[in-house]
Amino acid sequence: MKFKSIHNPLWATTSPVIGLFCLGIGFAAPPSTIVDILLVIGLAISVVSAVHHAEVIAHRVGEPYGTLVLALAVTAIEVALIVSMMIAGGEHPGTFGLARDTVFAAVMLILNGIIGFSLLAGSRRHRTQKYQIHSITAALVTLTAIVSLTLVLPNFTSSSHGPTYTTAQLIFVAIVTLVLFIAFTVFQTIDYRDYFLPLIDGKPADESIGDIDKPSNGETWASLVLLFIGLVVVVLSAKKLAPTLEIGLEAVGAPRAVVGIVIAMIVLLPEGVAAVRAALNDRVQTSLNLAAGSAIASIGLTIPTVAIVALVMGWPLELGLDQKSSVLLFISLFITSISLRTGKTNKLIGTVHITLLAVYLFLSFVP
């Protein structure tokens, strides 16, 4: 594979290796402030390189496959992180709600953070940007169904008290969630792929066709490997930093659910940076593809996986949100369905989403 090229410059190929080196020190050396600083440095440069390699892959395969690769890669590693933390936590009470807290945080950060900052950044530079309404409608319909079934409905079933499903209900909902994720992926990549293509002169355009400057197969495979390494470094660094984060959160009196927010923030950082950069480059459709794909994949893959773990370990998997979180979730879904129904962006829409993000974060620390 060719690692040096206009698509994979030296900094992009060495950054994941440096991040991996910092991670190795983190596992080999005893905990200390210096080790934590190295982990943060490795995490930061790995995020930047992951975004670069995701863009190389997207350039080669075109939309929406490029954004789907990043969304699936990040979600797969997010699932691995959640499962490993669940198993490590054993029967600690906080373990049973970790998946719910992380998935809910991911959805709120995507709907209000990634979308909000992308719309605001893109509108500030380009004033008004256009995207395809069909893609957003399909994504929001799927996301609303999955979120409602997994995070809200458990509070209202009568067979199981509290925020849990019975074994039969959990198996059924896990299957339904996976079916909806697969159905959306097929819709996005096969049946109606043109709905997710960027608009050029008002028409969907597959920019990967006829592009003589596309990365070669070797460059693309190199970026895929380096992307995976970068994401692994991001997630494992976050796991190593988790004890320090938990101590810091306890010191300021933050609720335990905030741990899920921190995990989601770190895991979604590469996608968030990629989405904002796409909007700044007048590719808001790519930004929205990333946001929608990440949200649906985050739940569609996480819930079935943690359901299997919970059933095997015999743990009560807590999925239902409390009343405050349910209200915030429905407000976010409602606002998103209104703000993205015109096919055009503006700064006000982005500001509203970011304000909702601020409300969510504030009420998470001051419930």
pTM of the model: 0.82
Domain contains 1: no
146 near 300, Cβ under 8 Å?
A: yes
**Would the pLDDT of 17 be above 50?**
yes
Count of domains for the chain: 1
**Would the pLDDT of 122 be above 90?**
yes
Domain contains 3: no
* 133-144 pLDDT per residue, tens: 999 999 999 999
Domain contains 294: yes
pLDDT, position 4: 43
Q: Which amino acid is located at 324 in the chain? A: K
pLDDT, position 96: 78
Domain contains 306: yes
pLDDT, position 208: 54
- Give the structural domain span for 196: 10-365
pLDDT, position 76: 74
Domain contains 2: no
All residues at 6 or more sequence positions from 38 whose CB lies less than 8 Å from its CB, including other chains: 22, 25, 26
Report the CATH number that the domain containing residue 101 is assigned in CATH.
1.20.1420.30
* 58-112 pLDDT per residue, tens: 777 776 777 777 777 777 777 777 777 777 666 665 677 888 888 899 999 999 9
292 near 143, Cβ under 8 Å?
A: yes
Q: Indicate if the alpha-carbon torsion angle 304, 308, 311, 316 is positive or negative.
A: negative
* 161-193 pLDDT per residue, tens: 778 899 999 999 999 999 999 999 899 888 888
